[in-house]
Chains A and B, each alone.
Chain A
Amino acid sequence: AQSVAQPEDQVNVAEGNPLTVKCTYSVSGNPYLFWYVQYPNRGLQFLLKYITGDNLVKGSYGFEAEFNKSQTSFHLKKPSALVSDSALYFCATNTGFQKLVFGTGTRLLVSP
Chain B
Amino acid sequence: ETGVTQTPRHLVMGMTNKKSLKCEQHLGHNAMYWYKQSAKKPLELMFVYNFKEQTENNSVPSRFSPECPNSSHLFLHLHTLQPEDSALYLCASSPSEAATNEKLFFGSGTQLSVL
Where the two chains meet, the residues of A that have a C-beta atom closer than 8 Å to any C-beta of B are 32, 34, 36, 41-46, 49, 51, 90, 94, 96-105
Q: Are A46 and B101 within 8 A (Cβ)?
A: no
Q: Are A90 and B43 within 8 A (Cβ)?
A: yes
Cα–Cα distance between A79 and B43 once the two chains are bound (Å): 28
Q: Are B101 and A103 within 8 A (Cβ)?
A: no
Residues of A within 8 A of B50 (CB): 98
Cα–Cα distance between A100 and B55 once the two chains are bound (Å): 14
Are A98 and B31 CB-contacts (below 8 A) given A44-B90, A104-B41?
A: yes
Name the distance in Å between A87's Cβ and chain B's nearest Cβ: 13
Could you list 7 examples of A-B contacts with CB < 8 Å? A36-B106, A42-B109, A43-B107, A45-B106, A46-B104, A98-B56, A104-B41
Residues of A within 8 A of B92 (CB): 43-44
The 5 closest A-B pairs by CB, nearest first: A43-B106, A46-B103, A102-B43, A44-B106, A94-B100
Q: Are A43 and B101 within 8 A (Cβ)?
A: no
Residues of A within 8 A of B6 (CB): 43
Cα–Cα distance between A42 and B1 once the two chains are bound (Å): 10
Residues of A within 8 A of B105 (CB): 46
Name the distance in Å between A45's Cβ and chain B's nearest Cβ: 7
Interface SS of chain B: strand
Residues of A within 8 A of B100 (CB): 32, 94, 96-98
Q: Mark B11-42, 1 if CB is under 8 A from A, else 0.
A: 00000000000000000000101000000111
Please tell me if B71 contacts chain A, counting CB pairs below 8 Å: no
Cα–Cα distance between A49 and B104 once the two chains are bound (Å): 11
Name the distance in Å between A25's Cβ and chain B's nearest Cβ: 13
Are A49 and B101 CB-contacts (below 8 A) given A43-B109, A98-B56?
A: yes
Smallest CB gap from B100: residue in A: A94
